[in-house]
Amino acid sequence: MKHILSIIDLTPADLEAILTESALMKDRYRQGIFDPLYQGKTLGMYFEKPSLRTRVSLESAMNSFGGGSVCLESSGLNQMWKRESVKDQARVMSRFVSMVSMRTFSQEVIEEFAREATVPVVNVLSDFGHPTQAMADFLTMKERFGDLKGKTLVYLGDGNNVARSLLAASAYLGVHFIWSGPEDYRLDQDYVERVMAKAVDAEFIEELDPTKAVKHANVVYTDVWASMGQEEEAARREMEFAAYQVNEKLMGHAPSKAIVLHCLPAHRGSEITDGIMDGHQAAVYDQAENRMHIYRGIFSLWKGNWRV
């Protein structure tokens, strides 16, 4: 497991190992046990997009292991990509840091960087996928339900980077995945076929009617309707996705024990209501906390692997 660039590039065993290690690291963290695995080591972070959870959880995870971090942020990065090749940046950064996390618009940049880097690289968000978010989501689900096989995850919204990662993780972990949203926003068929080819027993359903979609849900999941870079489409998307809002009426069609997840930030009153966000079915803050524990799990699995 040299790099973590997307869920689909992992194996089911890789994903299970990360979830198991993350649960162990979370237990040790809550006991106040801080393993000095990264004493004197540095995490390099690339951030083309602003962040709350990703940046704070990464830095907190590295600090908990006795390490430090250095962050290259959006305005400077725009110039850096023009001034110096990705290849050269990857080779130079590998001399300075022990691991690299990348939050970028382009999946291609992350993949090129990883090809040239001699240290592990983790994708912490791209236009293609959000693998560590999906891992945190499934860690949250395991905490709530135990065995995940046969559970049903319903995703309401755009077939975006989060949806892609959730589909692949569901397929690998034996979770039924239902996508529900406007017809023009389906998951791209080529990607669905790639997932199904790697997990032949996976169950994927498209259900345009949200009330039917959530009927047997264990998890109801939503995301913002317009992601970063789609601001000009926000007004149109607000209208097209209105029927897919996670609200009290919709949750009335779901089982009473279903939980609600949102990768955050949430636009309260758009894709989700205040009542649901603050209600007893929501597990969004556990989900957010688990981002840090997923990074701790990944870093723990990479321990001692300074030059891959």
Q: Please say if 103 is a catalytic residue.
A: yes
Q: Which residues of 134-153 are buried (b: 16+ CB within 10 A; e: fewer)?
A: bbbbbbbbbebbeebeebbb
Q: Please say if 291 is a catalytic residue.
A: yes
Strand arrangement, sheet containing 42-47:
68-72, 42-47, 99-103, 121-125
**For residues 178 and 149, what is the distance between their CA atoms, to the nearest angstrom?**
15
Which residue out of 137, 263, 281, 293 is catalytically annotated? 263
Question: Which among 264, 275, 298, 299 is positioned nearest to 19, based on CA atoms?
Answer: 298
Q: Do 15 and 7 touch, CB atoms closer than 8 A?
A: yes
59: amino acid identity, one letter: E
Q: Please say if 144 is a catalytic residue.
A: no
Q: Which residues contact 107 (CB under 8 A, 6 or more apart)?
A: 5, 6, 123, 126, 127, 128, 129
Q: Please say if 130 is a catalytic residue.
A: yes
Which residue out of 55, 223, 237, 281 is catalytically annotated? 223
Q: Please say if 223 is a catalytic residue.
A: yes
Which residue out of 3, 53, 130, 296 is catalytically annotated? 130
Alpha helical stretches, state H, the chain:
12-30, 53-64, 74-83, 86-96, 107-116, 131-145, 161-173, 189-198, 210-213, 234-240, 248-251, 274-277, 284-301
Which residue out of 103, 164, 176, 237 is catalytically annotated? 103
Would you please indicate which residues are annotated as catalytic (active-site) residues? Answer: 103, 130, 133, 223, 263, 291
